[in-house]
């Protein structure tokens, strides 16, 4: 899947545990300019650096995978989560991030203490 828009926020990389890191950024998507949408993407592991080549205000095309997870909390309540995992970012002005193939369907390693944190 892909989408084009303007980067409006780039967050720092978060080290979730010793073996898992993620980074988020937000894209303003304006299919209808009167009603822009704000779409948050995540980059995981070595892909966290893909957004380093860009800055807030850059117009980009983002290629991503739609991911969904099921999680049961410690009270037994089942919850569902969706995430948009970016794997390539191209500038509409011609600049490109390093190509990174889509992630395999294996989920990332869970946090060290699954009872205390959500699995994303």
Is 83 within 8 Å of 120 (Cβ atoms)?
yes
Task: Give 4 or 114, the one with higher predicted confidence.
Answer: 4
Greater model confidence, 53 or 112: 53
Q: 94 phi and psi, to 5 degrees? A: 110, -15
**36 vs 102: which has the higher pLDDT:** 36
Architecture field, domain 2-91: Beta Barrel (2.40)
pLDDT, tens digit, for every residue of 60-112? 999 999 999 999 999 999 999 999 999 999 999 865 555 444 555 545 555 54
Choose between 107 and 59: higher pLDDT: 59
Examine the pLDDT at 26 and tell me if it is beyond 90: yes
Distances in whole angstroms, Cα of residue 82 to Cα of each of 35, 41, 70, 95: 23, 11, 9, 29
pLDDT more than 90, % of the chain: 72
| Model confidence band, residue 48 (pLDDT cutoffs 50, 70, 90) | very high
Domains of the chain by residue range: 2-91
């Amino acid at each position: 899947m892909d989408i084009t828009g303007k980067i409006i926020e780039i967050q720092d990389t978060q080290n979730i545990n010793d073996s898992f890191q993620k980074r988020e950024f937000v894209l303003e998507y304006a299919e209808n300019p009167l009603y822009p949408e704000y779409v948050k993407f995540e980059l995981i592991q070595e892909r966290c650096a893909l957004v380093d080549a860009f800055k807030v205000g850059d117009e980009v095309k983002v290629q991503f995978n739609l991911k969904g997870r099921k999680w049961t909390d410690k009270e037994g309540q089942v919850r569902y989560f969706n995430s948009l995992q970016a794997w390539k970012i191209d500038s509409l002005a011609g600049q490109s991030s390093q190509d990174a193939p889509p992630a395999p369907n294996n989920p990332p390693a869970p946090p060290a203490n699954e009872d205390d944190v959500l699995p994303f």
